[in-house]
Amino acid sequence: MSDDAVQQLARQRLEAAERRHGRRRTVSLAETGRAFWRYPSPWIISGYLAATLVARVVVGGWSWLDLLAPLVFLAVFPVVEWLIHVFILHWRPRTVAGVEIDTLLARDHRRHHADPRDVPLVFVPCRALLWVVALPGLAIPLGVGALLGAELSVTLSFVLTLAVVLLTYEWTHYVIHSDYKPRTRAYKAIWRNHRLHHHKSEHYWFSVTTSGTSDRLLGTYPDPASVPTSPTAKDLHGRPGSS
């Protein structure tokens, strides 16, 4: 197939996706919220958040330091989100010493790109989510905090921030892929950027919870008109459904 034919096919696919979106039933934010809680991921994260909040209240010892680590994390989170999206979710399977290295997160993300309307694939896979909560969500910050001699209260405040950010990510990503249509200027920008990532080119617009903050910083926020429509936006690495 020639380059022109590939470009034409990609444009047709994007236009078809946009037409399908235009025919969707408009739903309210309340309806979207009720549907969100039908899936296990929000409940797992909410349990993690609630347990951390209870632990933080029980430990007590509130001080201004409780704001420091969360504020620093929130400041760098757009870059962290970009790095996770690029290097973990878009991980290209590779073979080392005869063993293929491919993760559940990457495999499900490829499936998500292949069919962005498959709602269960919008969420972090439950098996992977349990590991995310157990390791980077709890064990690693608690261990690093202990090694640095940080007060347990401060570490728990940081962990609580992680839980809130994780739930915010799941909610934002779900809403973008739902039938709820953007109304606010900020959400329209987030919605537009993520649709460009799925339907224009998977090589750009990696931000999900912000309106392109890290993309602007890291050079992945081009003028859409200057970017050719990618024929592999729904076929990451040529392996959309590999398992």
Mean pLDDT of the chain: 90
Structure tokens at 33: 């919220």
Instruction: Please give the average per-residue pLDDT across 108-127, as a whole number.
Output: 96
Q: Residue 206, Cβ neighbours under 10 Å: how many?
A: 24
Predicted pLDDT of residue 52: 98
Q: What is the reported pTM?
A: 0.86
Q: What is the helix (H) or strand (E) element at residue 158, kind and residue range?
A: helix 152-177
Per-residue pLDDT tens for 173-183? Answer: 999 999 998 88
Asked if pLDDT for residue 114 goes beyond 70, the answer is yes
Instruction: Quickly state the pLDDT bin for 12 (edges 50, 70, 90).
Output: low
Per-residue pLDDT tens for 89-106? Answer: 999 999 898 889 999 999
Predicted pLDDT of residue 127: 95
Asked if pLDDT for residue 243 goes beyond 50, the answer is no
Predicted pLDDT of residue 1: 46
Integer CA distances (angstroms), 167 to 36, 47, 78, 162, 181, in order: 11, 11, 15, 9, 20
Asked if pLDDT for residue 9 goes beyond 60, the answer is no
Predicted pLDDT of residue 64: 92
Total residue length of the chain: 243
